[in-house]
Amino acid sequence: MDVTADLEAPCPPAQLFDSVDDLGGYPEWLEIVERAEVAPPHPDDDGDAAWLVDLRGRLGPLARSKRLRMVRTTCDAPGLVRFERREHDGRNHSDWVLEAEVQPVEADADGPASRLVMRLHYGGVFGGSVLEKLLSDAIERSRPALLQRLSS
């Protein structure tokens, strides 16, 4: 499953990037991220920071939760950040990849602006269209929350 979402924000790219380069802040604006805590580093991480991320979604009476260990594998401020699932328990796990790209938008009379494009790839088979619906709804609700965070 691949989901792409975008948002235009009335702020410079560096300010927008600061809201997406650390998974620890995601619970403040993305409701499906219930918690994101810094995880201890591991020699096989291939990244510079790691988080334990608790995802929780509800669609009607159906609720699911999932804990992922995510590693920031790319951090090219203020343009691109990429997080990838890295578990170290010896088991095979479905891929989760989250990429956030921030692009400058031509400034107008209101000042600088930037555009965020987020791409989520989930390599598993669980959920299908239900998971896509849950993510789509959460993304729609996250836009005003992220804009509010940027304005405060």
* pTM (two decimals): 0.91
The domain of 134 spans 2-151
- pLDDT of 113: 93
Range 32-61 average pLDDT: 91
The total domain count for the chain is 1
- pLDDT of 64: 78
Range 1-20 average pLDDT: 94
**Phi-psi category of residue 5: left, alpha or beta, with phi > 0 → left and psi -120 to 50 → alpha:** beta
Coil vs helix vs strand at 76: strand
Coil vs helix vs strand at 142: helix
CATH for 50: 3.30.530.20
